[in-house]
Amino acid sequence: MASTTERILGLLRGLADAFFKPGKTATPTRRAPNAKSGARPASPGSATGLRSPYPGDFNGTSKVLYAPKPDGVPDPGEIVWTWVPYEEDFSQGKDRPVLLVGREGARLLALMLTSKDHSADRRADNDYIDIGPGAWDRQGRPSEVKLDRILQVSPADMRREGAVLDARRFGAVASGLRQRHGWK
């Protein structure tokens, strides 16, 4: 995770570029020297693949919602695919599944899924919750939900529905959010 100093320097670089390079607009980014490569190509009019600039990860408390309706419209309780910015550099990222867990204004709050097993990691008890396999993964691999990063996603940036997470497994994730972040 990038330090506060690296984040501030990234923002200042973006602002300096806007003032010293005519025609460029400032876009706040967080860059680290080892930023990941292999980013998804940008969609037309966007350097990030999103329709609007990523507002940053959600900090604070919210209310956990479970209201899935498999109707093509993203709802809390569903796993959908969207473009997720890397933590080190919001201008890069990749498509991945996320679990929708709430709302904040016009945006949905989401947690990333991973098929990488983190049970051997000592911090895994606090950072990840096993939810097992599901229709969101075509290879049928077990998944874990990452609790330490809450994404803010525009419904317009959802690519496709992956599945509805059943209430029992969603309840385990909700408990993790309440314990870790103080959500209602």
pLDDT (average), residues 35-52: 49
| Structure-model confidence comparison of residues 61 and 23, the more confident one | 61
For 65, which DSSP code?
-
What are the tens digits of pLDDT across the range 117-157?
A: 877 764 555 789 999 999 988 899 999 999 999 999 999 88
- Give percent of the chain with pLDDT exceeding 70: 70
pLDDT at 114: 92
Ramachandran angles phi, psi of 143, nearest 5°: -120, 160
pLDDT band at residue 75, thresholds of 50, 70 and 90?
A: very high
- Residue 46 CA, distance from chain mean position: 18
Q: What is the mean pLDDT of the chain?
A: 78
| Whether the Cβ atoms of residue 109 and residue 150 lie closer than 8 Å to each other | yes
